[in-house]
Amino acid sequence: MYTISRDYRNEIVIEKSRFICTLKKVASEAEAQEFIKAIKKEFWDATHNCSAYIVDDLAQRSSDDGEPSGTAGIPMLEVLRKNKLVGTAAVVTRYFGGIKLGAGGLVRAYSGSVAGALKECGIAEKILMSRFSFLYDVNSVGRILNILYQQDLFEIADVEYNLRAKIILKMQDSQKAEAEAWLTEHLNMPIELELEGSEYAEVLVK
C-alpha cells in the first residue's frame, strides 16, 4: 500500500485558470469529508472545489463540484488509484480565467494537477512492521547487544530489564523465521520470537 509522504499544496495556471491542488493524509472517510469542507471554506470564492479521496478499498469518492460530469472528480480519483494510494484526499480548486478548456482540457487539467502535486509531494510505501521479543540473561545482555547491533536484518526497538532482560526487535513479519535462525546461530541457543504488536511504517519511495 502507498500514501502521500506529507500534506501538500501546489498551483498551476492553464489558459488563465488557476488550479490549486491540496493533498492531505486522511485516516477515515469522515476526516476526508471534513478536509473537503475546510478547503471549500478556505476557497469560498473559487469557481469550483473538485475532490477525490481513497481511504481504503471500500471508501472511495469523488465530486465534480459543478464542472461537467466526469471531467474533474473521476479523473482525479483515477490518478490516486493509478498510484495505488490509500489514506489520501485531494481537492483541486479552480479559479476560472475566462477561457473554456472543453471536456478533454478539463480532464487533463484536473488529473494533471493531482499528478503534479503527487510528484512534488512524494509517495511513501506503507509497510506493516512488527515488534518481536525474546528473553535473555540480564547479566549477559550487554555482550549480546553488541552482536545484535552489527546486523541489518532487524532493528533493536527496546530493552526491558527485570529478572530477565526482554529484548524487543522490530522487523517485517516475513523476516521472523530468518531472524530466529540468525539469533539461534549467533547466540548459540534456540530463540523463538514472541509477537508484541504491529503497526504500519511509511518508507519514502525513491
The string of pLDDT tens digits covering residues 101-128 is 999 999 999 999 999 999 999 999 989 9
C-alpha cell at 187: 547466540
Same domain, 30 and 104: yes
Same domain, 13 and 112: yes
Strands 88-95 and 17-25, how do they pair?
A: antiparallel
Which domain-ending residue is among 121, 143, 172?
Answer: 121
Same domain, 80 and 147: no
Residue type, 129: M
Helix axes 176-187, 141-148, angle to 10 degrees: 130
Q: Which of 198, 185, 193, 147 is nearest to 166 (CA)?
A: 193
Strands 164-172 and 123-137, how do they pair?
A: antiparallel
Structurally, how many domains does the chain consist of?
2
| Angle 12-116-77 from CA coordinates, rounded to 5° | 105
Same domain, 12 and 113: yes
Stretch 181-204: mean pLDDT, rounded?
A: 93
Same domain, 34 and 117: yes
Quote the pLDDT of residue 205: 85
Same domain, 158 and 182: yes
C-alpha cell at 183: 539469533
Instruction: Give me the chain's average pLDDT, please.
Output: 95
15 Cβ contact partners less than 8 Å away, ≥ 6 residues apart:
97, 99, 101, 105
| Torsion over CA: 32, 42, 5, 195 (sign) | negative
Residues 72, 50: contact at Cβ < 8 Å?
A: yes
Quote the pLDDT of residue 206: 64
Same domain, 81 and 173: no
Same domain, 20 and 79: yes
Domain that holds residue 112: 2-121
pLDDT in tens, 7-31: 999 999 999 999 999 999 999 999 9
Same domain, 107 and 195: no
Q: Which of 34, 20, 28, 25 is nearest to 89 (CA)?
A: 25
Same domain, 77 and 52: yes
Q: Percentage of residues in the chain with pLDDT exceeding 90?
A: 91
Quote the pLDDT of residue 181: 96
The CATH number assigned to the domain holding 164 equals 3.30.70
Note if the pTM is more than 0.75. Answer: yes
Give the Cβ contact number of residue 166 at 10 Å.
17
Same domain, 85 and 133: no
Strand order in the sheet with 8-14: 8-14, 17-25, 88-95, 48-54, 60-63
Same domain, 68 and 84: yes
pLDDT in tens, 142-180: 889 999 998 989 999 999 999 999 999 999 988 999 999
